[in-house]
A = this chain, B = another copy of it.
Amino acid sequence: MTIRDVAALAGVSVGTASRVLSGNSATSPAARERVRVAAEKLGYRPDARARALRSTRSHAVGLLVSDVRNPFFADIAHGAEQAALASSYVTLLANANEDTAQQDTYLEAFLTQRVDGIIVAPQGEGGGNLRAVERARTPLVFVDRTVDGFDVPSVTADNAQGIELAVAHLAALGHTRVGYIGGPSSVSTGRARHEAYLAAVARHGLDDDAELVTVGDFRSASGAAATAKLLAGRRPPTALLAADSLMAVGALGEVRRQGRRIGADVALVALDDIELFRELDPPLTVVAHDARALGERAMRLLLDVIDGRPAASQVLPMRLVVRESSTGRSGR
C-alpha cells in the first residue's frame, strides 16, 4: 500500500495525492475529497518511519525493564506509560529477563526503530549496547538501577533509607539476629541494599556474623534456597529481610514447608510491596517503593532530556508499612 495506489484510485497524480495528504492547501476541494476517500478505502496511512527520517521525531520511546513478570517492574511500566500518553508519546516495552545479552538485543532494536529516547532498568556492569545508545546520542534515563561509569540521569529509590527502616523496625521489636536475603552484586540495587544492611546492623548493634547473609537473584526460587540455608544455620535468625518481593515469595513458601509460621515463629519483612502481600494471612510487613511514581518520574525526566530541558537525577524515599508478618499479632 503506497501513495501511488491512493493516487491511482483517486484518479489524481502522485504529486497531488502527496500534497493533499501532507495538508498542502494548493489542491482543489474535489481532489482533496477524492484522495481522502481513496486513502480511507485502501487503509493508507503515512509511514511514521519515513516521516521520522525527515522529521527526526517518532513520538515513540522505549522502556526496557529487567523482568516483566516481576510486579515491581510491571508497576514501573504502567506509571511510565501513562505519563508518556499524557504527553502524546507511546511506550514500546521490552523485557531484558535479567539477562545482559537480551538487554543488548532490545537496546539494538530500540535504536533501529529510531525511538526518541530510552528508559532502562539496567543489568550487568555496563558496556554492551548501553555504550551504543550513548554513541548514538539517543536520550537515555535509568530507572530503579544505575550502572557505574555512565553519566545518565536516573530516578531511583533510597535503598539505604529503606533498609535502615526495616532493620530499625526489627531491632525495636527485640530481634538481634536478622537474616538477610540479598540481591545479586552485579546489580546496583543488590550492592546498595547489602551495604545498607551491614551499616544498619552495625548502627543498631545487632549480630553481624556472616552466616546471616545470603545472596539470591531477585527470583523466588533463590529466596526459598536462601531461607533454607538461613534456617539451617547453627543459630538461625528470628527475623528475615528479603531484598525484593519475589525472593520474599520464595521465603514464605520455604517457611511454610518447614512447618513454621510467618509472624509467630519467624518475622519477615520484604522490600517492595505487591497487592497480594496485604491479603496474605498474616499480611506482610514491607518497605515499599512507589513503583508507579518511579515510572512516571523516569518518563518525565526522559521527556525533559528529549526536549533539551535541564534533567537532574532524583532519589525517591521508601516507606515502612507495618503488618502482622513482623509483629506476630494475628489478624483473626
Binding site for B on A (CB under 8 A): 1, 42-43, 45-50, 52-53, 58, 60, 68-69, 71, 74-75, 77-78, 81-82, 85, 90-95, 97, 102, 105-106, 109, 111-114, 132, 134-137, 220, 246, 249-250, 252-253, 256, 259, 261-262, 275-276, 278-281, 331-332
Contact = CB atoms under 8 A, between A and B. Distances in A.
Interface-central residue, A92, A97, A249, by most chain B CB under 10 Å = A92
Contact of A135 (B42, B82, B85, B249): B42
Question: DSSP majority for the A interface?
Answer: helix
A1 B136 contact: yes
Contacts of A74: 68-69, 74
Contacts of A112: 45-49
Nearest to A109: B90
Contact of A95 (B77, B220, B252): B77
A280 B262 CA distance: 11
B94 A92 contact: yes
A113 B112 CA distance: 11
28 contacts: A43-B132, A43-B134, A43-B135, A45-B111, A47-B112, A47-B114, A48-B114, A49-B113, A50-B53, A58-B113, A60-B109, A60-B113, A68-B68, A68-B74, A68-B77, A68-B93, A69-B78, A85-B105, A90-B109, A91-B94, A92-B109, A92-B113, A93-B94, A220-B275, A246-B275, A253-B278, A253-B279, A280-B280
